[in-house]
Structures are given as structure tokens and as C-alpha cells.
Chain A
């Protein structure tokens, strides 16, 4: 168990506990931005799983997968933020008119 980092396990557990709450809150609206955010959160969850797995088997592979997941999360969050900002600006423009 030397390879097990307790902070990483704690992060994963916290993410697993909070994920249903986040998904339920997001599910109340059907915005495109939220789809990207959900994909980003799944990617982050994946990175947490891979970072624990790399301590036990195939460290290089799982390390690359962990960073790939975080990379995807960054891209999804960026695209989601662009979509959310557009939606917000359109809504504000609608409120002013």
C-alpha cells in the first residue's frame, strides 16, 4: 500500500460523493454548456481513478491517461465556458431589448 496516496483517494471519494449532486443540479437545465461541463467532470473523475491506478500497475500508461484526462477536462471546460458566456450575453441582450 506504499504507492497509495491517501489525499488522492480522498479526492476521488469526494468527487464520487459530489458528482450525483452536481449532475442532478445540472440536469435541471438542458443547456449545451452543461453537456461540456459534464464531460469535463467525467474526465476529471477519470484522472483521479488513473492517478490511483498508476501507483499499482502500468505507471507510465496510467500517468499518461491521467494527464490526457486532465487535458480533455481543460478543453471541455474551455468550450463549455465559451458556450455559457455566449448564452449569458444573449440573455443579457434579450433583457436589455
Chain B
């Protein structure tokens, strides 16, 4: 046997091993993994065919498969690329799902803490409207956020003693973008003016644009004063 014949024989054995292992992995996989294994098996089968054809030719058994080699071999790279693409897409999809589950778990934890807190926590947009309010803010101060995030608040939060008539949103816009630490403000509700201790922190988008503020406040004293 010629040197090329020996190379073909060894190469054919290698491709047969690769094809068999890829075929076995079809049984392990599910969904996209299985499709990738099928494509990989097909890709390896193509080169196995070529190498077996070469070996048979060099052994002097038959050259009948030789005319088909080029036609078959040309599909190897597309099949291999497609298999890799499917594997890569499947891996990315799994990573994304895992990240979504982690983010959802974190969101649930934060929402649990925020909703069980005995302070009012409100996210205020740049117009002074409440975009989110926790259960305490809704029950104690009537700060509601509608299903479409429209304001249905029954309260207005203003600096201590300031008039509440001209306020368009739920909050005096002076709160937007300001850093406030434990200041005395008023919650003007349907039942009257409630003095509150209020803190606020501005919220920025990744681009640096001001998105609004996170406002936290609590009733200063149990009694209310008439507005």
C-alpha cells in the first residue's frame, strides 16, 4: 500500500470514530443539542465517505465511489458551520434563560423587601408622577400607580407648608434630581396634610440622563393637621 493509502486508512478510522461518537451524542441531546449532533454526524459522515472511498481506491478494491467524492465533500463545511451555529445559539439561549431566572429571583426578593417595608417607597419620574409605589405608600398615603403606569394618586407630596394646588404630578418637581436626606415635607391627602420625614436620591440612566428619583418617606407623627 502507498503512503497516501496508509494516511487514508488511518484518517478513515479517525473519521469513523468521530462519526460514531457524534451519532451516540444524538441520543444524549434534546431539542437544539440533538439537531446539532445530527448535523455534526452528517458532516463527519461526509468525510468518512471520502476517506473510505480513498482507502478502497488505494487498496485496489474499487474506485467506483471516486466520482462522487467532490460532490459529497463540498457539503462538509456548510454542515459543520450549521452544527456549530445551532450549538452556539443553544448555549446562548440557555445562558439567557439562566440570567432571566436569576434576575426574576432577584426582582422577587427586592419586591418582597420593598412591599413589606413600613416606609413609603416611591419612584418618581421627571414630571413628578409616581411610576411605582409600594404597598405602604398606597395604604398610608393613597399613592397609587395605575396598570398603564398612569397616575391615579390621591395624594400630593410637597415641601413643608408649600401649597399643593398647582402640583401636576404626585410630587412637587423640586424633588426630581435632588438629593434629600431626612427633610420635613408634607403629604397632602384626602384626609388632610400629614407631616413626613423624606429622603430622595436621583436615578440616572446608563447614558447619564436623569430618569427621576427614588423617594422614601414616613409619617413624622401619628396625628394629622388640617390643610
> Is A56 positioned at the interface, with any CB of B under 8 Å from its CB?
no
Bound complex: CA A25 to CA B17 (Å): 24
In the complex, which range does the number of interface residues on chain A fall in? 35 or more
Chain A window 55-97, contacts with chain B (Cβ cutoff 8 Å), 1 for yes, 0 for no: 0000000011011101111111110111011001100100000
Mark B85-102 against chain A: 1 for CB-CB distance below 8 A, else 0: 101100110000000000
Interface residue? B15 (CB, 8 A): yes
Determine the chain A residues whose CB is within 8 A of the CB of B70 once the complex forms: 5, 7-8, 11
| Interfacial chain B residues near A18, Cβ < 8 Å | 77-78, 80-81
Q: How far is the CA of A3 from the CA of B21 in the complex (A)?
A: 38
Count contacts between A and B, CB distance < 8 Å: 109
Total chain B interface residues with beta-carbon distance under 8 A: 39
Query: Is the CB–CB distance between A14 and B88 below 8 Å?
Result: no
Complex formed: what's the CA distance from A15 to B70 in Å?
13
Task: Check if B77 sits within 8 Å of A73, measured CB to CB.
Answer: no
Contacts of A1 in B (CB 8 A): none
Q: How far is the CB of A56 from chain B (nearest CB, A)?
A: 18
A66–B51 CA distance with the chains assembled, in angstroms: 12
Inter-subunit contact A11/B80 (CB<8 Å): no
Q: Could you say which residues of chain B place their CB within 8 Å of the CB of A71?
A: 7-8, 10-11, 14
Q: Is the CB of B17 within 8 A of A88?
A: no
A67 to B55 CA separation, bound complex (whole angstroms): 10
Pick the most buried of A18, A19, A66: most chain B CB atoms within 10 A of its CB. Answer: A18
Pairwise interchain contact A22-B7, C-beta atoms closer than 8 A: no
Complex CA–CA separation, A74 to B11 (angstroms): 5
Interchain Cβ contacts under 8 Å between A and B, 15 examples: A8-B70, A15-B77, A22-B84, A28-B91, A63-B4, A64-B4, A64-B7, A67-B54, A70-B51, A71-B10, A73-B11, A74-B11, A74-B51, A78-B13, A78-B17
Interface residues of A (CB under 8 A from B): 5, 7-8, 10-11, 14-15, 18-19, 21-22, 25-26, 28-29, 41, 44, 63-64, 66-68, 70-78, 80-82, 84-85, 88-89, 92
4 cross-chain pairs, A with B, having the tightest CB-CB distances, nearest first:
A74-B14, A74-B11, A71-B11, A71-B7
Q: Chain B: residues with CB nearer than 8 A to chain A?
A: 3-5, 7-8, 10-15, 17-18, 21-22, 24-25, 28-29, 44, 47, 50-51, 54, 70-71, 73-74, 76-78, 80-81, 84-85, 87-88, 91-92
